[in-house]
Chains A and B, each alone.
Chain A
Amino acid sequence: QKEVEQDPGPLSVPEGAIVSLNCTYSNSAFQYFMWYRQYSRKGPELLMYTYSSGNKEDGRFTAQVDKSSKYISLFIRDSQPSDSATYLCAMTPQGAQKLVFGQGTRLTINP
């Protein structure tokens, strides 16, 4: 079993929809949680960064962490075609030197 599980999709939704992307994990030591966005044939880039449990909002994006359930989510409101990309969750324990990534979910927003 992988330390981080993420549904690879693909996920296709109409423009303007609310998108929910999720990851589960097994390592209770994970403290830092991130979402990276990767456009086709590009490197991943950091989208959201949260510490421990709770919510964090940035424009149309909201990241949620539920450590009791070992479950994290990324919500995208008013989705746009430019949001079409692969979304990777990533996490790490405090003081660790490497990120553990999920498999990535390929998302397509249809105009």
Chain B
Amino acid sequence: GAGVSQSPSNKVTEKGKDVELRCDPISGHTALYWYRQSLGQGLEFLIYFQGNSAPDKSGLPSDRFSAERTGGSVSTLTIQRTQQEDSAVYLCASTSRRGGVGELFFGEGSRLTVL
């Protein structure tokens, strides 16, 4: 596709369940980012991939959060034992820049609601 694709667009789950969020970056983009956007909180950095490696995972809030990237392309963000405070929009972005950030191209996000 032409842009960053995320799925599901909406996810409602019960507290304690695990969820997986998927991101398909723009073809050829080597860097991939996950951000979280909560109401009134702006974008909170979670993790950054260069290729399949994650040099910076400092933003993951707890060990319930993990992410992987395979084939230098698709990435999955997994949240285990979801809590109500995990409710947010999870945004994925990609860029072709290696040195420095450059312009980030964002997907439309996955809106997670934990009941």
Contact (Cβ within 8 A) B101 A96 = yes
Give which listed residue, A41, A92, A103, contacts B101 with CB less than 8 A.
A92
- Known contacts A32-B101, A98-B45, A98-B101: does B106 contact A44 (CB below 8 Å)? yes
Of chain A, the residue at the smallest CB distance from B6 is A43
Determine how close the nearest CB of chain B comes to the CB of A44; give it in whole angstroms. Answer: 5
User: Do residues A104 and B103 form an inter-chain contact, with CB atoms below 8 A?
Assistant: no
With A and B bound together, what is the CA distance between A32 and B102 in angstroms? 9
A95 and B104 in contact, given A6-B42, A101-B42 (Cβ under 8 angstroms): no
Is chain A's binding surface mostly helix, strand, loop or mixed? loop
State whether A92 touches B104 (Cβ < 8 A): no
Tally of A interface residues using CB under 8 Å: 25
B104:A99 contact, CB within 8 angstroms:
yes
Minimum CB–CB distance for A57 against chain B, Å: 18
Q: Does B93 contact A (CB under 8 A)?
A: yes
- Name the interface residues of A53-104: CB closer than 8 Å to any CB of B: 88, 90, 92, 94-104
- Residues of A contacting B100 with CB < 8 Å? 32, 92, 94-97
Q: Which residues of A lie under 8 Å from residue B108 when comparing CB positions?
A: 41-43
Cα A6 to Cα B33 in complex, Å, equals 22
Tell me if B91 counts as interface (CB < 8 A to partner A): yes
What residues make up the interface of A, taking CB atoms closer than 8 Å to B? 4, 6, 8, 32, 41-46, 49, 88, 90, 92, 94-104
